[in-house]
């Protein structure tokens, strides 16, 4: 609870009208934790975390390091259930809490306190990837190029609009239906490693793939 307090997660939740919040932590051994914040039987925050030795392949080199794996992240603002359902993002039953900055700080503190090398997440939805892209990057040039293409080709659309088109099967790459896949995004704590992995060679690959992508919305 203390870390949730320090990083501002609980103070922000209280500001939104949830005063008496329960914390439930369960797990399967030392390296897996399920963290849930509950108010009046409603889930406000659901996090599933694990610590894993993650195998990286970079420039034909293989090495293993321990990372915080974010298996699931969801926030819910059930007091806004009356909101127009058309304004919800794919995967939502109620709006989110809008506390990504605080959760990001919480994740950062966990990485430091556990002496890990960074964090890995597989965003289930495009709009999740947009949030995490502030600190994380896709580990493969293909995924990074697709992410850039979605922002480029739908620059006049809202993030919610792009995500809705994408996850309802309406986006085409040339003539093929584009399917969103939950591919790893990674945050390296060590800046040297970050510049080593995401180097000019990586950026050139991204640029080359980006030139081959042409996205559009299927006519209905």
Domain extents in the chain: 2-121
For the beta sheet containing 42-58, the strands, ordered from the edge strand earlier in sequence to the opposite edge, are 22-26, 32-39, 42-58, 61-75, 118-121, 185-188, 137-138
For domain 2-121, the CATH class is alpha beta
For residue 145, give the nearest of 218, 212, 196 by alpha carbon: 212
pLDDT given at position 209: 97
DSSP states along 77-127: -GGGTTS-GGGSPTT-SS-----HHHHHHHHHHHHHHTT-SEEEE--SSHH
- Find where tokens 């591919």 sit: 183
Helix (H) or strand (E) holding 9: helix 9-15
- Say how many C-beta atoms besides its own lie within 10 A of residue 173's C-beta: 16
Q: What would the pLDDT profile of 16-34 be if each residue is shown by its tens digit?
A: 999 999 999 887 666 678 8
Taking the model in full, what pTM does it have?
0.87
Tokens representing residue 50 in the block:
């694990």
pLDDT value at residue 122: 92
- In this model, does residue 154 exceed pLDDT 90? yes
Q: Token match 């298996």: residue?
A: 71
pLDDT at residue 220 above 80?
A: no
pLDDT confidence of residue 59: 67
Do 74 and 124 touch, CB atoms closer than 8 A?
A: no
Residue 73's CB is within 10 A of a number of other CB atoms, namely 19
Q: What confidence score (pLDDT) does residue 63 get?
A: 76
């Amino acid at each position: 609870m203390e870390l949730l307090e320090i990083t501002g997660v609980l103070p922000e939740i209280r500001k939104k009208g949830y005063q008496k919040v329960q914390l439930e932590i369960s797990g399967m051994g030392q390296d897996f934790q399920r963290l849930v914040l509950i108010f009046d039987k409603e889930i406000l925050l659901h996090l599933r975390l694990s610590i894993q030795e993650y195998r990286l392949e970079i420039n034909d080199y293989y090495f293993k390091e321990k990372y915080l794996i974010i298996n699931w992240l969801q926030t819910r603002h059930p007091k806004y259930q009356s909101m127009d359902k058309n304004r919800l993002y794919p995967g939502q039953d109620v709006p989110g809490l809008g506390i990504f900055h605080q959760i990001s700080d919480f994740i950062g503190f966990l990485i430091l306190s556990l002496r890990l090398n960074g964090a890995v997440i597989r965003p289930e939805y495009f709009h999740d990837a947009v949030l995490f892209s502030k600190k994380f990057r896709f580990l493969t040039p293909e995924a990074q190029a697709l992410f850039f293409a979605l922002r480029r080709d739908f620059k006049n659309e809202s993030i919610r609009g792009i995500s809705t088109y994408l996850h309802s099967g309406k986006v085409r790459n040339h003539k093929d239906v584009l399917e969103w896949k939950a591919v790893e995004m990674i945050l390296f704590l060590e800046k040297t490693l970050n510049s080593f992995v995401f180097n000019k060679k990586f950026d050139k690959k991204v640029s080359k793939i980006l030139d081959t992508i042409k996205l559009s919305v299927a006519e209905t």
